[in-house]
A and B are shown apart, each in its own frame.
Chain A
Amino acid sequence: MRNREEPIAPEQYELQGPPLHRFSINRREFFRYLGGGIAITFVVGQAWSDDGADVATANDKSIHAWIHIGENNMVTVYTGKVEVGQNIRTSLAQIVAEELTVPIENIEMVMGDTALTPYDMGTFGSRSIPNMGPQLRKAAASARELLRKMAAKQLKVDVSDIKLSVGRVYAGGNDWGKPLYFSDIVKGEKLIAPIDESVPVKPAAEWKVCGKSVPKVNGANFVTGKHQYVSDMKLPDMMYGKVLRPPSFGATLKHVDLTRARAISGVVAVHDGNFVGVCAPDPITAERALTVVQAQWEEKPQPSHAEIFDYLVKNAKPPRGNDGGGDIAGGLTRAKVKTDKTYYIDYIAHAPLEPRAALAKWEDSKLTVWTGTQRPFGVQEELSDAFRIPKESVRVIMPDTGSGYGGKHTGDAALEAARLAREAERPVKVVWTREEEFTWAYFRPAGVIKVKAGADASGKLTAWEFHNYNSGGSAIQTQYDVGEKLIQYHPVDSPLRQGSYRGLAGTANIFARESAMDDLASDLGIDPLEFRMKNLSNERLRNVLSACAEAYGWSKRGKAKGQGHGIGCGIEKGGYVATMAEVIVNDDGRVTVKRAVTAFECGAIINPVHLENQVLGCVVQGLGGALYEWIDFRDGKILNPMFSRYRVPRFADM
């Protein structure tokens, strides 16, 4: 489900649809796993069967998550969303805690496990809180009302006399008697109820758990090193896998000799198509085995960084979107000032601190893979396709992972570990090196953005022409009022593998748009904030800009030599954001961002500190893309695949 007001410009890896059919879930199996109690599902009713496969099927869209209240007094929430550091394990639990009036400690979140949680397309596009949040809220409210009804029946009182508080159930109006626990109410029940759309949810003004900065769930496990990321996991008899990488992108394997690798005690080596990998009982042996594999590859010519921007423009496909189709030439003739500029955007790397990792285990013909991915169900499909086995034979489990930023949508390491594990007939773990992560993952798309625009003497925009080649359609629409406009995204078959990124193409499009706005304001001699306000009618964004200007001290900003002040703002994914930055250009040409102030408005906030962390993270990561980060490549090889050559923001930049 997507926010109706603001369509998301889809990017690669966001176009995956749900499967056409999702078949019924067996009620007996469900409770055998869960234990007794009650379950609230996001389902219209027919997805549940008592007998299994031979009954009705449900539309996939009807189930997104379910909540179970158990005989042990625990509330378990099942969602296909995953935790990658954005802290939805905490904020989604807060939402359920709020509606069910249970302590947050009594809530367990089961996330991103294809065997236990309902299908979910993936955790991306800033959709978890806006989409999954309200659904869980409704489910929790439905559970609350169901509990009240059941309690009323059990205690032989009217439903209106039942109150829920801190995980307990009280009866009898103001004279609250001895409370019952949820477990007393649900004991012996095996009840599945659909969401009741008519139940009221608590208005934000009455929130007691939401709106509070509840600390990260399991926080202590993370600062003590106890949390097991996939790269930390170990199974009995597990082997360590390594994959032979081609010398350049798109190279074809001509010949491989595994004799020497196989001669090493304990080593299993695999050659399957273009895939060559080895595994061994310990990582040092696995590495050694990889170095003695002899392979010949045929490489292919391809564009390098030096010609990438020309390549992107020359190889553009027909544009998507034609917003306005305005009379640009006419608009420009009415302009007093004009800008006509081209902006270049490099490929950059997500560089999640935990590189891709997967642990795979086969039992008979069933495959289980633990992997850090933002799309466990997508990886399940990849594995099912790659091994030509039914999806039901593949279970993908996603423990909270060492970040993604849109960079972990694929199941590369999962495929590799599974292929090696099948050959070895033992569990195999594959952890990518940093160089592999920099090279064989995928990149934030490079792009070229051409902007032609004009404004009249009164400071009103008269024409806006905006072409984005390859970097993406997110946030491509302008928030400013302009009569004549033409805004187009031109897709290109990228020479480098590319995909989603934190903020998607927003960073690129907003940078180009706001830079063009600054040029026009400067040529008109108008304050850049005032120029934006003159052309902006969106009230929420105006308020955000004003709040930012006030916090920044825009009207009192200094104008020393080498000192500059920038503004960027936009609306994307339901967020209204403005940032102002003070930049110093040093005598030697070095650019330092001295401070940045961001105002961010996204409606009611579930967890203020965690939201602040997200916004802060975006600013810091954005600095990297703006100032230091770029992928250098030549003839299909990445030339800076390491942190010592790929500069990311650090403490000293703060």
Chain B
Amino acid sequence: MELNINNKTYSVDVEPTASLLTVLRDYLDLTGAKYGCGEGACGACTVLVDGQPARSCITPISSLIHKRITTIEGLTSDGKLHPVQQAFIDNDAFQCAYCASGMVMTAVALLERYSSPTDEQIRNFMNGNICRCGTYPRIVRAIKSVKTT
């Protein structure tokens, strides 16, 4: 089966019911998306599918034919950090940072939808992402600091 990940075509020989998360992490060595719950309830595994945030742990690869998948590894271009990544660093919006990949990916999709989101829009959109360290207010601040063009 062929998957389009970060504008690259990957051929994988895995059963079609396999989750995208397993395929990314264990077969393609793209370990930026994290396992946190396996039921789509924590957001650590978030990737973008055609620009929309998707929980890769509950997304079977069979549903991804002809879809465009973006992972955290595909966010930097020419070694330059995405403005959301930079904002997370500038605002120290992480502690253990295990949630950071999923947070960044969801925030990227959020800013696609709302160019200058309100606190409430941020809280609603990001609510599926858990930061067990409790860095939420700082993450909100980081997202608000991103200048979208």
- Min Cβ gap B122→A in Å is 7
- 0/1 per residue, A606-620, Cβ < 8 Å to B? 000110011011111
**B68 adjacent to chain A (CB < 8 Å):** no
- Please pick, from A219, A222, A232, A643, the residue contacting B130 in the complex, using a CB distance under 8 A: A643
Residues of B within 8 A of A227 (CB): 97
Q: CA separation between A224 and B32, bound complex, in Å?
A: 7
**A457 adjacent to chain B (CB < 8 Å):** no
**B132 adjacent to chain A (CB < 8 Å):** yes
- Please pick, from A228, A240, A617, the residue contacting B95 in the complex, using a CB distance under 8 A: A617
Q: CA separation between A648 and B128, bound complex, in Å?
A: 11
Residues of A within 8 A of B149 (CB): none
Interface residues of B in 8-34 (CB under 8 A from A): 14-15, 18, 22, 25-27, 29-34
**A231 adjacent to chain B (CB < 8 Å):** yes
Contacts A219-B89, A654-B140 given; indicate if A648 touches B130 (C-beta within 8 A): yes
Residues of A within 8 A of B72 (CB): 223-225
**A216 adjacent to chain B (CB < 8 Å):** yes
Say whether B133 contacts A403, CB under 8 Å: yes
Residues of B within 8 A of A234 (CB): 29
Say whether B96 contacts A284, CB under 8 Å: no
Contacts A283-B22, A353-B132, A621-B134 given; indicate if A223 touches B39 (C-beta within 8 A): no
- Please pick, from A355, A617, A650, the residue contacting B135 in the complex, using a CB distance under 8 A: A617
**A229 adjacent to chain B (CB < 8 Å):** yes
- Min Cβ gap A158→B in Å is 44
**A433 adjacent to chain B (CB < 8 Å):** yes
- Min Cβ gap B49→A in Å is 17
**A86 adjacent to chain B (CB < 8 Å):** yes
Contacts A223-B97, A353-B34 given; indicate if A403 touches B132 (C-beta within 8 A): yes
**A282 adjacent to chain B (CB < 8 Å):** yes
Say whether A85 contacts B130, CB under 8 Å: no
**B112 adjacent to chain A (CB < 8 Å):** no
Which A-chain residue is minimally distant from B27 (CB atoms)?
A282
Say whether B88 contacts A617, CB under 8 Å: no
**B50 adjacent to chain A (CB < 8 Å):** no
**A652 adjacent to chain B (CB < 8 Å):** yes
Residues of B within 8 A of A223 (CB): 72, 81, 85, 88-89, 94, 97, 100-101, 104
**A62 adjacent to chain B (CB < 8 Å):** no
Q: How large is the interface on B (under 10, 10 to 19, 20 to 34, 35 or more residues)?
A: 35 or more
Residues of B within 8 A of A215 (CB): 89-90, 92
- 0/1 per residue, A364-401, Cβ < 8 Å to B? 00000000000000000000000000000000000011
Which A-chain residue is minimally distant from B42 (CB atoms)?
A643
**B109 adjacent to chain A (CB < 8 Å):** no
Say whether A650 contacts B94, CB under 8 Å: no
Contacts A222-B100, A621-B134, A651-B127 given; indicate if A642 touches B41 (C-beta within 8 A): yes
Say whether B98 contacts A228, CB under 8 Å: no
Contacts A403-B96, A651-B140, A652-B123 given; indicate if A616 touches B134 (C-beta within 8 A): yes
Residues of B within 8 A of A216 (CB): 89, 92, 94, 97
Q: CA separation between A649 and B131, bound complex, in Å?
A: 8
A-B contact list, 30 entries, CB within 8 Å: A219-B88, A219-B89, A219-B92, A223-B100, A224-B72, A224-B73, A225-B31, A225-B32, A225-B33, A229-B34, A229-B98, A231-B34, A284-B15, A352-B98, A353-B98, A354-B98, A355-B36, A400-B96, A402-B34, A402-B98, A434-B42, A613-B92, A614-B95, A616-B134, A617-B133, A621-B134, A644-B41, A648-B132, A651-B136, A654-B137
Q: Which residues of B contact A (CB under 8 A)?
A: 14-15, 18, 22, 25-27, 29-39, 41-42, 44, 71-73, 75-76, 81, 85, 88-90, 92, 94-101, 104, 122-124, 126-127, 129-140
Q: Which residues of A contact B (CB under 8 A)?
A: 84-87, 213, 215-216, 219-220, 222-229, 231-232, 234, 240, 282-284, 351-355, 400-403, 405, 431, 433-434, 609-610, 613-614, 616-621, 642-644, 648-654
